[in-house]
Chain A
Amino acid sequence: MRPLSDQALHRLRAAATEPDFQETRYRLIRELGRGGMGTVYLAEDSLLNRKVAIKVFHLDDASPALAARMRHEARTLASLEHPNIVPVYDFGQLPCGRLYYSMKFVEGSRLDEQLSQSLPRKLRLFDSICEAVAYAHARGVIHRDLKPANIMIGAFGEVLVMDWGLAKIGYDAHSAGHVLGTPHYMAPEQARAEPHLDARADIYSLGRILEFLCAAEAPKPVQSMIRKACHPDPASRYAGAQDLGLDALRFLDGMPVTAHKESPFELAVRFFNNNRTLLLLVFTYAAMRFLVFFFSRR
């Protein structure tokens, strides 16, 4: 008997783990990505004739507790109707017993692929992220895994916050004592697996995202915003994601940001930058007055 080749083994393994969509309205196209809790596939909705992204729960993880978590994730996402949050279309169970939910397929790029953009564009993207997170917080939902890889920029430049798999509504008993999230973007209290996490854990992650986006080009006010958002003490962070987004907009509009105390020199530079044309005109007027007066005396 001939042993199976590696290629054949790989195909067999893929066929065994691939979800069976035969009795559903979806036709599988290809795998998009694999995460800790499930795999996301690109599929076609044969009923509405459109492409959708389907998250299918891992076969070997299908314990009742994790199935409940999947259901929770789908319901959480479905409850958040916001232009910057990826919408859920459908939720169900495959013939093999695996749970799935379908959502909008976002054609675009991830936030970590947007580093070549200008600083104002990146700050506007960041404000959209803050708006989506603030909306979720207002509904008592904390994302807990905000990072550039979980944010998509659509074909029209729209921002979509994805992967609400670790989202928490109110006090989450089954995550107490478990460290959930991504190390660099995780708030210190989240890394300590404290049970009573609140929206300020997401503020920390937003600060890390801002740091990632602006990197070395961050001007002083933006650096202060990052420091305030990523403060180890949650009480010293921004009170809400909206405040952080508003500070980003204030910076873009040439206004002072709440996180940064300006020196008189910085104030003067900002005033000069905001009123260049006006100052140039006033200077021209003064110069003309002086010249006219000087020559009329001769």
Chain B
Amino acid sequence: MLNNLNKPLVGIVLGAILGLFDGSTAMLYPDSRPLIVSILIGSTFKGLFTGLVAGFFARKFQSIPIGILIGLLAGMAFTYPIAIEPVNGKSYFLEIMIPGSILGAVVGFATQRFGKSPAIS
């Protein structure tokens, strides 16, 4: 199914799903529960933008290691603004940055592996 979509779309879909999942893990932290809706929205958009960057990269360049690295860096970059914001006065920098970056790497890999490349004209 994923191979029928183009690479940026694979990135957007997968990034959004994984972002939503990643955001939902905030339920594990009692301090974050009152803010869960905004966390879920923020995390979903973070995943979506990461997927978009990784998808466009995969459209232009075919390299799994570099694709993973780009996903990791994009995940890191889009997670940073969320991670520096303290929740109830407490910082969750590592709790947000590390898993968010790894999910970026997963999306980076998936966009390299799945999805249609544009036809050569």
**A159 smallest CB distance to B (angstroms):** 27
The dominant DSSP class at the A interface is helix
For the complex, is A292 an interface residue (Cβ under 8 Å from B)? yes
Once the chains bind, are B106 and A289 in contact (CB under 8 Å)? no
When A281-B68, A293-B28 are in contact, do A288 and B109 touch as well, CB less than 8 Å? Answer: no
Known: A278-B110, A278-B113. A284 touches B102 (CB 8 A): yes
Chain B: minimal CB distance from A44 (Å): 42
A residues 259-298 with Cβ under 8 Å of B?
Answer: 277-278, 281-282, 284-285, 288-289, 292-293, 296
Chain B interface residue count, CB cutoff 8 Å, equals: 17
Q: Mark B39-79, 1 if CB is under 8 A from A, else 0.
A: 00000000000000000000000001000100000000000
Q: What residues of chain A lie closer than 8 Å to B99, measured between beta carbons?
A: 285, 288-289, 292
Known: A278-B109, A278-B110, A278-B113. A292 touches B103 (CB 8 A): no
Among B28, B29, B103, B109, the residue within 8 A (CB) of A277 is B109
CA distance A281 to B103 in the complex (A): 8
Nearest CB in chain A to that of B18: its residue = A285
Chain B 69-104 interface mask (CB, 8 Å, partner A; 1/0): 000000000000000000000001011001100110
Distance between B20 CB and nearest chain A CB, rounded to angstroms? 14
Structural contact, A292 and B94, CB atoms closer than 8 A: yes
Interface centre among A281, A288, A289 (most CB of B within 10 A): A281
Residues 8-51 of B contacting A (Cβ, < 8 Å): 25, 28-29
- Give the Cβ gap from A272 to chain B, nearest Cβ, in Å: 15
Taking Cβ atoms with an 8 Å cutoff, the residues of B that contact A are 25, 28-29, 64, 68, 92, 94-95, 98-99, 102-103, 105-106, 109-110, 113
Q: Can you list 15 A-B pairs, Cβ within 8 angstroms, ordered by A?
A: A277-B64, A277-B68, A277-B109, A278-B110, A281-B68, A281-B105, A281-B109, A282-B106, A285-B103, A289-B25, A289-B99, A292-B98, A293-B25, A296-B29, A296-B92
Interface, chain A (partner B; CB < 8 A) = 277-278, 281-282, 284-285, 288-289, 292-293, 296
Instruction: Across the A-B interface, give the 4 residue pairs with the lowest CB-CB distance, nearest first.
Output: A285-B102, A281-B106, A292-B95, A288-B98
